[in-house]
Amino acid sequence: MKIALIQYNPVIGDFAANIAAITTWLDKAKAAGCRLAILPELAISGYPPQDLLERSVFLNDQDHAFAQLVKKTSGIGVLCGLVSRNPDPAGKPLHNSAVLFSDGELLCTTHKQLLPSYDVFDEARYFEPGHSNGTFRYKGLHLGVTICEDIWNDKSLFPRPLYATDPVDSMLAQAETPVDLLINLAASPFTLGKSGIRQKIFTNLCRRYQLPFIYVNQVGGQDSLIFDGDSIALDKAGTVIARAARFREDLVVVDTETWQGEIHSTPVDPEQETGEVCEALVLGTRDYVTKCGFSKAVIGLSGGVDSALTAAIAARALGPENVLGLALPSPYSSPESLEDAEQLAKNLGIEFSILPISGLFEAYLAALAPVFAGAAVDVTEQNIQARIRGNLLMAIANKQRRLLLSTGNKSENAVGYCTLYGDMSGGLAVIADVPKQLVYALCRFLNTEREVIPVRTIDKPPSAELAPEQKDEDDLPPYPVLDAILAAYLEEHRSIAEIVAMGFAQTVVEDVVRRIRINEYKRKQAPLGLKVTTKAFGQGRRYPTAEGYREGAQP
């Protein structure tokens, strides 16, 4: 039997568009001679629908859309994910389910058993865990079906498994006849290094149970999350026999008679993860902008690497004709920065304008002079410039129906080296989860074939140019040091003492941690940022803003 692995890009809650897209893919699968098609987790609604699940009308609309899909699908079996109702009088009212249907008939249903509630996941908020064994017979094959997290409990890979049960073990133990094929429907977001972890889980699964395995993942951007697809099939020895593309919709076919399939992408090389991040950011930007109803973007171009990278990603995501780059020079902007911003726009082919802010800055200072009398010049005057820029950019975004893309990176956001209502203004923070060192790596990656980002932009010392002769490292540790400390503290959850033991100066580490803590309020008001690391600022990091914890402080 030929099986189609279909990774598609849903729009959450747009049931008409989702059903139309699924139908088109099913037609392609039938044309390829497939008798079974597999779609991702929650394929009908898109993942994650979050609190839309609390609205009965949303659930009713999903049920109607699914019924229409079942009614009009013929000539092929379909295994897909959807939200189902929990008939029991106790427990959460919904299940995260997988259903098998064919020729207008619903054949089997099973429910997700392991409901993640860490990082960006909050499935236990909505769903009741399932307990069924998830085995179905279809066209002579005995299928063992799981949903995403159900296979993420490998004791050989995770020193402390998060769950006491192993759904795959339980399923195979309860099966009355031997299972022929393991299948996993997923909506697994991209982060750096995750592809390698998945591959190890899949290989271990095949070798442990001596069974072939199919994994079908959602693709596309959804708010801060980016789903990379990378659907895959392996034989019982753990050898990859089919792999879909990454970061785009795709269909690959597996033949269960020969256990051969189509290879549409190559394994991720850990040395080439910079390119993976670039593709992820392009997809995340495109989908966020377009799914929110926009087609055009505006970006403030400072002549620095952050705004240059953001503009390059936007041009790839939306087309250069849909991106406006705006230079807003202040009294402290260097001529070279303005030249670099203009050259970048030419290299990208985007629209470019210059809007000086010196006059507005002087007007602000004049208006504030009576209140500021006798006070020394400090960071306030720097922030005024950033806020003037933010105000002008938002005005242009409103007038021209563009989405303003903010340009701050993770390193700066972590320590508050950014201005609330200034450079933090915008509808999407494209590189908010990209550390500064990775920003430079991405810029060099984009320049691999030709100069996209001016070399001078990459080589010059970074500066906000809000004061005379200002440099970032006048106020911050060197970025290689800062990024290493941030990774240890934010992503590895190391203590100050542990980070100091890694070779960093205690005063520097303590100051970085202090800055992270006191700037929590800023990040709570920042635009949504695309997630590419294991721990991004946003819904996956839940720290109190008003708190008094200090490491090592004892009563």
**pLDDT one-digit tens code per residue, 338-357:** 999 999 999 999 999 999 99
342 is catalytic: no
pLDDT at 554: 72
72 is catalytic: no
| 275-473 CATH, one of 3.40.50.11240, 3.40.50.720, 3.30.43.10, 3.40.50.620 | 3.40.50.620
Each residue's pLDDT tens digit, 185-209: 999 999 999 999 999 999 999 999 9
Average pLDDT over residues 517-521: 96
Q: Where do the structural domains in the chain lie, given as residue ranges?
A: 2-268, 275-473
Each residue's pLDDT tens digit, 136-195: 999 999 999 999 999 998 888 888 889 998 999 999 998 888 999 999 999 999 999 999
Question: For residue 112, is pLDDT > 90?
Answer: yes
Q: Is 412 annotated as a binding residue?
A: yes
DSSP, collapsed to helix, strand or coil, labels residue 105 as strand
Q: Reduce the secondary structure of 510-526 to three states and give it as a string.
A: HHHHHHHHHCHHHHHCC
pLDDT at 513: 97
pLDDT at 395: 98
pLDDT at 301: 97
Catalytic position from the list 34, 80, 112, 342: 112
Alpha-carbon dihedral of residues 75, 80, 83, 89, nearest 10 degrees? 80
Question: What architecture (CATH level 2) is domain 2-268?
Answer: 4-Layer Sandwich (3.60)
Distance CA 94, CA 87 (A): 9
Average pLDDT over residues 243-271: 92
pLDDT at 154: 84
Across all residues in the chain, what is the average pLDDT? 95
Each residue's pLDDT tens digit, 196-249: 999 999 999 999 999 999 999 999 999 999 999 999 999 999 999 999 999 999
Q: Is 194 annotated as a binding residue?
A: yes
pLDDT at 226: 98
pLDDT at 552: 80
Catalytic position from the list 80, 123, 128, 148: 148
Distance CA 82, CA 123 (A): 14
DSSP structure string for 208-240: HHT--EEEEE-EEEETTEEEEB--EEE-TTS-E
Task: Name the pairing type of β-strands 105-111 and 94-102.
Answer: antiparallel
Phi first, then psi: what are they for 157, rounded to 5°?
-105, -30
Q: How far is CA 361 from the centre of its chain?
A: 37
pLDDT at 474: 75
Q: Is 307 annotated as a binding residue?
A: yes
Q: Is 390 annotated as a binding residue?
A: no
Of the candidates 110, 250, 103, the one whose C-alpha atom is nearest the C-alpha of residue 183 is: 110
Burial classification of residue 92, based on how many CB atoms lie within 10 Å of its CB (0-12 exposed, 13-18 middle, 19 or more buried): middle
At 332, the pLDDT band (50, 70, 90 cuts) reads confident
Distance CA 216, CA 80 (A): 10
Average pLDDT over residues 65-77: 96
pLDDT at 57: 98
At 133, the pLDDT band (50, 70, 90 cuts) reads confident
Angle between helices 273-291 and 436-446 (to 10 degrees): 90
Q: Reduce the secondary structure of 432-466 to three states and give it as a string.
A: CCCCHHHHHHHHHHHCCCCCCCCHHHHHCCCCCCC
Distance CA 221, CA 239 (A): 29
Catalytic position from the list 41, 128, 342, 465: 41
Angle at 69 between CA 67 and CA 71, to 5 degrees: 70
Distance CA 324, CA 339 (A): 16
Bridge partners of 213? 182, 234
Q: Which amino acid is at 299?
A: I
Burial classification of residue 7, based on how many CB atoms lie within 10 Å of its CB (0-12 exposed, 13-18 middle, 19 or more buried): buried
At 472, the pLDDT band (50, 70, 90 cuts) reads confident
Q: Is 188 annotated as a binding residue?
A: yes
Q: Is 522 annotated as a binding residue?
A: yes
Entry pTM: 0.95
pLDDT at 145: 97
Q: Is 302 annotated as a binding residue?
A: yes
Distance CA 298, CA 391 (A): 13
Distance CA 96, CA 142 (A): 22
- Going from the C-alpha of 416 to that of each of 138, 376, 406, 436, 512, the distances in angstroms are 56, 22, 15, 14, 10
- Going from the C-alpha of 444 to that of each of 316, 360, 375, the distances in angstroms are 16, 36, 44
28 is catalytic: no
Q: Which amino acid is at 198?
A: R
Average pLDDT over residues 9-28: 98
Distance CA 128, CA 268 (A): 35
Q: Is 407 annotated as a binding residue?
A: yes
At 461, the pLDDT band (50, 70, 90 cuts) reads confident
The percent of residues in the chain predicted with pLDDT above 70, rounded, is 100
Average pLDDT over residues 368-374: 96
pLDDT at 359: 96
Distance CA 404, CA 386 (A): 15
